[in-house]
Each structure stands twice: as structure tokens, then as C-alpha cells.
Amino acid sequence: MMTAAKYTAGVGLSTFGLLLGFLCVGRAVETALAPDATRLNKRETMTVGLSVGIPVTLGALWLFIDLERGSQERLRQRQLAHSQRLQSLFYKVLKANSGRINPIQFAMLGEISLIEAQICLDAWAGPLNATSQVDETGVVMYCFDLSET
């Protein structure tokens, strides 16, 4: 698991590498285009600038891209864990309440927003053939059939 400090250090290092690489390549190009530089000076500066600048730039880009990929993968893993936790909670609540649940109850138990609870229940209602009832206070109650077939 990468901490924020490691991620920040990685981004800083890749930024420094990009800066150094671009400076080296820029100096090589500047020397190549300079009309007053001697031929030997041009060759040495271009060789060093390109042989250092290009690998450093590519390495820094690779590091930055790798950091971003890792960040996206960790985000997907967190979202999957969150989804699995909500689904597990959903089944436990259904079993405890004889197949009845409302969005407010699910939001409080899952520690999620009411909108997210509503979205989850709507998504599960279709495939699980739930019916909805509105109680006297206006709260929608989802009723899932728990009988085994």
C-alpha cells in the first residue's frame, strides 16, 4: 500500500527527472542551432545532452505513468471492497428484517449517503424482483421475497 508521502515523493522525483531531461535535451538543441559554437563543442554538448536527457526524460515519464496506474488500481480495489461491504450488509439486513428495507435504514447502517443507498437499492430491486411499498410517512420500503424456490 502506497502512502501519500511515497506518492508525493514519486511525483516529485518524476517531475525533477522531466525537468532535468528537458534541460539537457534543450541545451543540446540550443548548441546544435548556435552558429558561433565550434564543431567539437557542438558534438560534445549534443552527445552529453542527448545521452543524458533522453533516458532521464523517458525514465521520469515511466515513473509518473507507473504511479498513476498504481493509483487507479488502488482506487478500483477500494471501490470493489466498498461494493462488497454494502452487498454483504444488504443481505444481512434483508435476512434480519424478513426481506424489507428502506433507503434511510440502509444509508444509516452502511454509513453512506441517502442517494447512494437509493441507487444501490434500485439496482438490486430489479434483478431480485423486489416490490416497493410506500408507508404512511411517505418512505419507500423495498420488499424482497426471501422464500426459497
pTM: 0.57
Helix axes 4-33, 39-96, angle to 10 degrees: 160
Does an H or E element contain 141, and which? strand 140-143
The per-residue pLDDT for 149 is 45
The CATH label, of 1.10.10, 1.10.3470, 3.40.50, 3.30.70, for the domain at 97-149 is: 1.10.10
CA dihedral 44, 45, 48, 52 (to 10 degrees): -170
pLDDT digits (tens, 9 = 90+) for 59-105: 888 888 888 888 888 889 999 999 899 999 998 998 898 888 989 99
**Residue ranges per structural domain of the chain:** 1-82, 97-149
pLDDT digits (tens, 9 = 90+) for 27-70: 888 888 878 767 777 788 888 888 888 888 888 888 888 888 88
Going by C-beta distance under 8 Å and a sequence separation of 6 or more, which residues neighbour residue 42? 31, 32, 34
Q: For residue 115, what pLDDT is reported?
A: 92
Contact 86, 103 (CB under 8 A): no
